[in-house]
Structure 1
Amino acid sequence: MEHFNPIIEKYTNEQKKRLLAVWEKSVLATHHFLSTEDFVAIKKLLQNFDFTTLNVYCLNHHAEMIGFIATSAAKIEMLFLSPNYFGKGLGKKLMNFAMSTLNANEVDVNEQNQNAVKFYKSLGFVPFERTEKDDLGKGYPLLRMLLEQHTN
């Protein structure tokens, strides 16, 4: 049996359709708190978004994109995995890459996404602020989190 070892590669615009497909599958599996209207609005925003304005790295296995992570400066802006690959340590692999290679030490997470909150806490992130609304002004509270050694 082949050893499963996906690789992390820099995003290119040719991968946008695959990246958006991963985003959509992941959000549908994890963001049950999002209204359909807000999901559709965010999806439309992302279809017109230039992902090259962020540091985006994709987790690929052969020709399949399994997940991706996006950072801006030291902040993780996005982390999404295809639901088929949840619970296999791949989110942790992307996070370790972002923390060690991209010096990421901050993340915002939807408070209602308790699995994500637990995931980031397990990697050493601690909440330092809570917002009532997300960055789009919608009623989805965010927890702003910092990697613990950076909170001092």
Structure 2
Amino acid sequence: MIRDLKQKDIDKVMETWLDSTIKAHNFMPEKYWQDNYNAVKDIYIPQSKTYVYEEGEEIKGFISILNDDFIGALFVSLNEQGKGIGSKLIEYANAKFNNLKLAVYKQNQRSVDFYIKKGFEILSEEINEDSGFEEYIMVYK
């Protein structure tokens, strides 16, 4: 089931974010993500519309949408990856929002391939101002 984020979900969502983002971005220093933890928790999550994928009482993934058109986060618990949860979250977001865009690090080829498979196209390539790494801006077609 996909539902709106509740306050009680924050710690699990952040655990999923940190574990999954470190694994997905193994080309970047782990400290970068640890240093950004509080900004994600205290600024980005509250500013976004976040939806969690839950089975029983267990949160297995989430997606956060900023400004009704930008996927700021899509993460699935490490032991739940490859089971279609990310696909379900993308489909849910595409049904609720129009013209979704996202940024994904160029070196995160697994995610780039996932988004292309889900109907996103590369719009442009930029350097992320904060991290200094190259990223693609992708849009849903």
TM-score norm. by structure 1 comes to 0.85
Inter-CA distance 101–47: structure 2 relative to 1 (3 Å threshold): closer
CA distance in 2, matches of 1:67, 1:8: 9
Matched ranges for 1:40-55 at <5 A: 40-49=34-43, 51-55=45-49
Q: Describe the SS at the equivalent of 1:67.
A: strand
Q: Deviations over 1:80-110 (max 9, x none)?
A: 0001111111101000000012335211111
Counterpart of 1:11 in structure 2 is: 5
**Cα distance in structure 2, aligned partners of 1:50 and 1:119:** 23
The answer on whether the counterparts of 1:126 and 1:145 sit within 8 Å (CA) in structure 2 is: yes
TM-score by length of 2: 0.91
User: Which structure would you say has the larger Rg?
Assistant: 1
Consecutive unaligned residues of structure 2, counting only runs of 5 or more, are none
Unpaired runs of 5+ residues, structure 1, are: 1-6
1:60 and 1:104 mapped to 2: Cα distance? 26
- After TM superposition, which residue ranges in structure 1, 4 or more long, deviate above 4 angstroms? none
Would you say the 8 A contact 2:18–2:34 is kept in 1? no
Q: Which residue number in structure 1 is paired with residue 97 of structure 2? A: 102
User: Residue 46 of structure 1 aligns to which amino acid in structure 2?
Assistant: V
Partner amino acid, structure 1, of 2:28:
L
Aligned to 1:141: 134
Letter of the structure 2 residue corresponding to residue 68 of structure 1: F
Alignment map for 1:2-151 (pairs within 5 Å): 7-49=1-43, 51-72=45-66, 73-103=68-98, 105-132=100-127, 134-135=128-129, 137-148=130-141
